[in-house]
Structure 1
């Protein structure tokens, strides 16, 4: 069954909403973003999170020591790298933490996926390329560009209740990553979270 990640949680009500429907993963954004949280905010939210849900920290070209600290504090279960991090960066990170690593690839920027899929990351995340933006565009990329990714991948970029079934059936990702697609007026909407989790779990 395709897994689901609800990304960009920032407040207690967001945690309450996901605890009710139990997605597989949630994301805390530490990179500059309207959904950015501080280390202390993430720590407090993690304490409220149902332990069956794994937390993912989203970073862009972050200092490795900060990631190490957040992982060793138990705030993060997985690390998502959304910037220009290369294998050397991941090699250094792996020496410090055992947490699985997700590496984002922005589709449409001319990169060769056959090369990118060979990174040291445990998972790949496919997102929409937009100039001067590392992620969070809320826009769908051309799913026909997805080739043999070579490892389990997360699918992100403009996914919402209206297109999630097509995303799952057409792309067959390991996990669907949703953020703005479960928001109303920029805030996480419990009804949309419940609806999208219900839909994805209906696909066998």
Structure 2
């Protein structure tokens, strides 16, 4: 099972996550308490192994701005977490993850509208897009809606429910942010435990 630790803001947390087995590190460039600057992200990315995915998270940002940040930092994937249309997903030099909030089965009907290989399903937006620590109704998702896509599951995951999420949805990857934090900061032990728990699961059915 692949794991993304999102909302990384410093080199130490990135190092702990990678050493514990993280496959992807997420950097938030949208409004968030975890927002990073271009320079912060580049400094962290420069320390990461080449085989770790470096994912930039954006919300309704200009295409040109996103591409500039890709070029300046070394991002290897982009996560679009706003109201971006399907055409926008074709505009970048790196693979795109389109994030969709799920509150009903109707939300899942949008999945096939997007041309990108990766779809991230998350809880509906709260104060921020993502990172709100709430799960979405997993039962709303069916394999037909995900046909041909690689599913990334986010939203309220933690050490206590990640195994059930994997068993229920058989994703390509799980994505965690607030679930591995203490008092709003990445917690070394929580990251290590989450990665260990997730790696024990299997389930790459949605490919």
TM-score by length of 2: 0.90
Secondary structure of 2:100's aligned partner:
strand
> Gaps (5+ residues) in structure 2?
203-207
Deviations 1:31-52 (A, max 9, x none): 0000000111101110122322
The Cα shift of 1:67 comes to: 1.5
CA distance in 1, matches of 2:199, 2:105: 33
Could you tell me whether the CA contact under 8 Å between 1:117 and 1:124 is conserved in 2? no
Could you tell me whether the CA contact under 8 Å between 1:14 and 1:190 is conserved in 2? yes
Could you tell me whether the CA contact under 8 Å between 2:8 and 2:34 is conserved in 1? yes
> 1:167 aligned to 2:165?
yes
The Cα shift of 1:15 comes to: 1.6
The runs of at least 4 aligned residues of structure 1 exceeding 6 Å deviation read: none
> 1:136 aligned to 2:131?
yes
Match of 2:117 among 119, 122, 131: 122
Deviations 1:157-187 (A, max 9, x none): 0000001111111111110000011111111
Secondary structure of 1:130's aligned partner:
coil
> 1:147 aligned to 2:142?
yes
- Greater Cα offset, 159-168 or 132-141: 132-141
> Gaps (5+ residues) in structure 1?
none
- Greater Cα offset, 50-59 or 25-34: 50-59
Secondary structure of 2:99's aligned partner:
strand
- Greater Cα offset, 190-199 or 13-22: 13-22
Q: What do you get for the CA RMSD once the two structures are aligned?
A: 1.6
TM-score by length of 1: 0.91
CA distance in 2, matches of 1:190, 1:22: 13
Deviations 1:105-158 (A, max 9, x none): 100167442233331122100000135642221101111011222211100000
Equivalences for 1:189-204 in 2 at 5 Å? 189-204=187-202
